[in-house]
A and B are shown apart, each in its own frame.
Chain A
Amino acid sequence: MSKEAKKPFRQSMAEWRQFVYNPNSGEFLGRTAKSWGLILLFYLVFYGFLAALFTFTMWVMLQTLSSDIPKYRDRISSPGLMISPKPDTALEFYFNKSDAQSYAEYVSTLRKFLESYDDSKQSQNINCTPGRIFDQNDVAVKKACRFNLSELGQCSGKEDKTFGYSKGTPCVLVKMNRIIGLKPEGEPRIHCTSKEEGMVEINYFPPEGLIDLMYFPYYGKSLHAHYLQPLVAVQLAINSNSTKEEIAIECKILGSPNLKNEDDRDKFLGRIAFKVQMTE
């Protein structure tokens, strides 16, 4: 009974029109222009105030931060591993050793990546004492250690402009993520294994895949502007009868007790897995 009878369509349309603009009272959407103006003003002031407050709080918060090192580094206690070149989609390399086009992108990526390691760019860098942590805590201007491209041997791109891709011995550079203040213990080295026995022979540059301690610790972008992270080149000499097959390679960082490589959830913490498939 108390339920309202359904209004005819025309009437409800008229009511709508009346609501949208009421010519009698000059109301637009139920309010006069003045009222809308004041509401707009209120929200302008209100949100202006909130924005100012937000900005101010953020500013205060940023003031408490140092521009050199982040306040906390507990979320990245151990570095991840990454490779270059990095295929677009997943970490899977597909190329035809006789088709330069198929690996051109890998080569150019490597070339680009190694540009900053060029000797000309390393003029400011110093030669550090190998095998020792290069502590510069007391020095205001942190020096970067020189990383000679020659250490990458056949994978330096100097002798073989195609980084071995044309010969069926593709190079992959393995690098360890930069983490401020990280000092690896022991003798960290990169070691890669292939699940499939005998399909591939793995060579490391520098030999044994060693990562020299002199490149650590890292002092952060602003203090350590010219820092270059050490690289390990992994050359995969693919067995000629294993072409056309997908070879799974896993590289891990070994020899350092404080660099994790077995995390269940983080598949890139101290390790990296990728696949290579070469055709002829």
Chain B
Amino acid sequence: MALCGYKTSLCGMLLSVWGIVQLLFMGVLFYIESPAFIEDLPLNDHYDTPEEYVTDVHRGFKANAFNCLIGACLYIVTLGVSTWQFYMNQKTTFQV
């Protein structure tokens, strides 16, 4: 039961593997608050006190970490689906 073709499932597999690796890596880095990602945090334009700013920074890091890990999990699902589709397509070509 092939939902998508051979090439689509292959692309899906490669993208998913890349997504899992990179998003896991990014998730871990966000969790340990790596300063390289300081510009990627969801922050407001203006803060009244530095304590607010620091709290927001910590919250932003955690939030992004979890977002990346959720994305990684979704890519695990996509990897599963793509691999299944890939093998479905392989079987049909052998039958022909």
Chain A complexes with chain B: no
